[in-house]
Amino acid sequence: MAFSKALYFAAIVPSSEVKEKVKKIKLEIKEQFEAAHPLKLPAHITLLPPVPLAEEQEKAFLGTLKELSGKQPAFPVKLRGFGHFKQRTLFINVEDHGPFQRLHENLLQKATNFLPPKLSENLHPHVTLATRDLDYKKFPKVWQAFKNRDFSAEFKAEALTLFKHNGKTWDILENFAFSGRE
């Protein structure tokens, strides 16, 4: 008997105001550089990359995330400037990685039963603006346009968002409010 699997990933989704600022930049990149892939998702900072889970594991996984979030205090997030990974991905920098790294480590520990054994412990919090369909030949022009450009935004991370792939796109499955004390 084969088990049906779905893909899930966990992220921090910024406030509506910050999501709109990021969306405008993604639309600008689509128009100027023909890279639209990141428009498929709202702005987010990935904490747990896509992992396959048997559908039968979903309820237990949701319970684990709810328990973790109930102990997690909200924390401030500052976004400043732009960065990149090689000539493939353009992103907005997250200033303080500490809270994200701690939350990521907690996720890896609490959800260990659900995660593949070789899931990376490395985390570089960022908000992706262009990737996958960003032609590496166009990357120097994209980077030239953004490397010295000013950008700043702040929001409070108040929930963990779990996305589930429906076969074509990512849907928000559930938001888990942070209710721990600061």
CATH number at residue 118: 3.90.1140.10
Q: Is 6 a member of any domain?
A: no
Q: Which helix (H) or strand (E) holds 23?
A: helix 16-33
Q: Is 104 a member of any domain?
A: yes
The answer for residues whose C-beta is within 8 angstroms of residue 45's C-beta and 6 or more apart is: 11, 12, 14, 77, 94, 100, 125, 126, 127
Domain around 167: 24-177
Provide the 3-class DSSP secondary structure of residue 68.
Answer: helix
Average pLDDT, the chain: 90
Q: Is 182 a member of any domain?
A: no
Q: Name the domain count of the chain.
A: 1
pLDDT of residue 2 exceeding 90: no
- The pair of three-digit structure tokens given for residue 181, joined into one six-digit string: 């004390």
Write out pLDDT tens, residues 9-44: 999 999 999 999 999 999 999 999 888 888 888 999
pLDDT of residue 34: 85
pLDDT of residue 36: 80
Of the ranges 3-7, 19-23, 140-144, 161-165, which one carries the lowest mean pLDDT score? Answer: 3-7
Q: Is 9 a member of any domain?
A: no
pLDDT of residue 1: 43
Percentage of residues in the chain having pLDDT higher than 90? 64
Q: Is 15 a member of any domain?
A: no
